[in-house]
Amino acid sequence: MKNSIKVERAKKDLTQGKLADLTGVSRQTINAIELGKYVPSALLALKMAQIFECSVEEIFQLEEGE
Amino acid sequence: MNKLKLLPRWCRFLGLALVIPCIGMFVIDPEIVFGESTWSIFGGDPSGRFVVEVFSLFDSSANDPNLSWYAWVKNDLSNELMLTAMLFGTYCIAFAKIKEEDEYSNQLRLEAMSQALVYNGIILLIFNWLIYDGLFLYVMISQLFSFLLLFSFIFAMKIRNQRKLVTYEE
């Protein structure tokens, strides 16, 4: 699963640390999600969508074959 | 968020304080696990200073091969104390919270647990074919804690690697 968290963060001028604080997780978690090493829970994905003021599908997209 | 029920963070330090001396004592004198050379490493009485009469569910004497129930027997408690400290300590280390506990750390914990299970099995299999007779008793005793110790080590390495990775990002 690919994601556009980095782009969305840049749009909102948020650092990984700031996004981590807003979502209530660690910076390591945000980093792992951005790198595609970890797929977040639905709750965390919804929280991110709320912060970025967009839908979950705009942040997370399925890759071919998934 | 649905987090695992874990012990407070200070339990990790309590666990280390219990486990490290036990491992140290075992390294100095492996016989200590049988409670027979009790505290001889400290120059104490080899017959043991923790010999007390304890309640035993079963009892068998050398002369009588039949088991009897509910007996009061004389026993050196040092190895029981050590086993309790090791079990309590390893659980405290393995199930204490980390600094930043969240869903990703839960995922890492799960990965570490499955890896520890595999590595522990491989180690046991190797020792099964390399260590024989009475010495295998040490392998069996170490297997009581090896899984939790391996799990704690792998989990700590995963957290450390993740922290390292983050410092180079952003």
Percentage of chain B exceeding pLDDT 90 = 52
Q: Is the confidence at residue B42, as pLDDT, over 70?
A: no
Question: By three-state DSSP, how is residue A36 classified?
Answer: coil
- Of the residues A5, A16, A29, the best mutation for testing chain B's interface (the one with the most B CB atoms within 10 Å of its CB) is A29
For A9-53, the pLDDT digits (tens) are 999 999 999 999 999 999 999 999 999 999 999 999 999 999 999
Q: Cα dist. A19→A31, A39, B49, B59, B76 in Å?
A: 10, 16, 59, 63, 57
Question: By three-state DSSP, how is residue B28 classified?
Answer: helix
For B52-107, the pLDDT digits (tens) are 888 888 877 656 667 778 888 887 788 888 899 999 999 999 999 998 899 999 99
Q: Residue B86: name the closest of B25, B43, B154, B28 by CA.
A: B25
Q: 10 Å Cβ neighbour count for B78?
A: 22
ipTM above 0.95, yes or no: no
Size of interface A-B (CB pairs under 8 A): 46
Nearest to B170 among A15, A43, A44 (CB): A15
Nearest to A32 among B1, B104, B170 (CB): B104
Question: What pLDDT score does B2 carry?
Answer: 57
Q: Round the CA-based radius of gyration of chain B to a whole number and report it.
A: 20
Q: Which residue has the tokens 């699963």?
A: A1
**pTM attached to this predicted model:** 0.86
Q: Is the confidence at residue B114, as pLDDT, over 80?
A: yes
Q: Do A41 and B103 touch (CB under 8 A)?
A: yes
Give residue B39's pLDDT band: very low, low, confident or very high (50, 70, 90): low
Q: Do B100 and A28 touch (CB under 8 A)?
A: yes
Mean pLDDT (chain B, rounded): 85
Question: What pLDDT score does B37 carry?
Answer: 54
Q: Do B166 and A28 touch (CB under 8 A)?
A: yes
The per-residue DSSP string of B102-117 comes to SHHHHHHHHHHHHHHH
- Taking CB atoms and an 8 Å cutoff, what residues of chain A touch B163? 28
Q: Which residues of A touch B (CB under 8 A)?
A: 15-16, 24-29, 31-35, 38, 40-41, 43-44
Question: What pLDDT score does B77 carry?
Answer: 81
Least confident of A1-10, B8-17, B55-64, B125-134: B55-64
8 Å CB contact between B143 and B116? no
- Taking CB atoms and an 8 Å cutoff, what residues of chain B touch A44? 1, 103
Q: Give bridge partners of residue B55 from the DSSP assignment.
A: B72
pLDDT, average across residues A57-64: 92
- Of the residues A7, A14, A27, A28, the best mutation for testing chain B's interface (the one with the most B CB atoms within 10 Å of its CB) is A28
Token pair of A28 as six digits: 């390591």
CA A63 from centroid of its chain's CA atoms: 16
